[in-house]
Structure 1
Amino acid sequence: MTADRSSSSTAAFSRLHDAVRTGDAELVARTIDEVVEPGLIFHAPVPTGVTGVQALKEVWTVLLRAFPDLRVEIEDVIAEGDKVVYRNTVTGTHLGEYRGLAPTGRSVRYGEIFVFRLAGGRIAEIWGVVDVLSQLRQLGAVHA
């Protein structure tokens, strides 16, 4: 079942997505505090070693610092029960340090899929699959 982005099942993610589109890491962090459960279970690998809400905030801080023009375009939204799946295409220009790599000025374009479990209208659990290999190849950090 495909969900309308304005439905209640996608409202929390829509608010977070809107904050990300501003490129303002502080707004993203405040929005996370508003739409994410404090006990968030975050199943995506985070290189910094932090967990939960702090991991999610750290991910966005790192990404927005490295790719200040970062854009997340939603390709598909599927909602069923307490879960919502998003397939996104991410683009940006590498203008800040990222994973130990100095800015290259190169553009990246990669895909990601996230599953969100909601509880009480807030994001309670996240599973993520991000094409980091493609991202790192485009930055010249990994060769084919």
Structure 2
Amino acid sequence: MSADQLSRNKATFNRLQEAFGGGDTELMSRTIDEVFRPDALIHMPLPVESTGAQAITKVFTTLHRAFPDLHIAVEDLIAEGDKVVCRNTVTGTHRGEFMGVPPTGTSITYREIFIGRFTDGRVAETWGVVDLLSLMRQLGVAPGGFSPKSPGE
């Protein structure tokens, strides 16, 4: 793959991440339709019945309802061959129902990593790992958590 194509794929993936975290659901939906192939393979557990680009739209619509100020900060964006890897930090405030949890008003921060495989300039396949356990702990519905000790304890 040429350096130009790698740059285009990275720019496309970055544009997608910006649309996911921008709060404009119309822009997000339009960007997903432009960037994802309709039949894209999605390799991650999703809380929706849909597949392909439609599943991605439904997931982020649900997230924006629950966290209207959702923001995605791209920490790393790496491209090689036909794949782009994106490591993100996600923040928001829990203002709507999420996975059966009523709004708590809690500010949340969690991390995620996505890999997108491109075909003809569009995402044909994606894999995602989202730190859902951390998110659910912050919402008070998952037990545990790690409390680092202060130096010398």
Q: How far apart are residue 76 of structure 1 and its match?
A: 1.0
CA–CA distance in structure 2, aligned partners of residues 115 and 9 of structure 1: 12
Aligned to 1:32: 32
Deviates more, 1:129-138 or 1:29-38: 29-38
* Aligned CA-pair RMSD: 1.5
Cross-structure match for 1:42: 42
| Structure having the higher Rg | 2
Give SS of 1:69's match.
coil
Secondary structure at 1:45 match in 2: coil
Contact 2:95-2:105 within 8 A present in 1 as well? yes
TM-score, normalised with respect to structure 2: 0.87
Identical aligned pairs, as a percentage?
56
Structure 2 unmatched ranges of 5 or more: 145-153
TM-score normalized by the length of structure 1: 0.92
Residue 111 of structure 1 corresponds to: 111
What letter matches 2:53 in structure 1?
V
Q: Are the counterparts in 2 of residues 115 and 127 from structure 1 also a CA contact under 8 Å?
A: yes
1:47 CA displacement = 1.2
Structure 1 residues 131 and 124, CA, compared in 2 at 3 Å: closer, same or farther? same
Question: Could you say which residue in structure 1 is the equivalent of 2:83?
Answer: 83
Q: Deviations over 1:59-113 (max 9, x none)?
A: 1100111001111111111110000111111111000110011100001111111
Report SS of the residue matched to 1:33: helix
**Secondary structure at 1:78 match in 2:** strand
Residue 68 of structure 1 aligns to a residue in which SS? coil
- Range with greater deviation from structure 2 (35-44 or 9-18): 9-18
Distance in 2 between residues matched to 1:76 and 1:15, nearest whole Å: 14
CA deviation digits over 1:85-144, x for unaligned, max 9? 111111110001100111000011111110000111111110000000000000011121
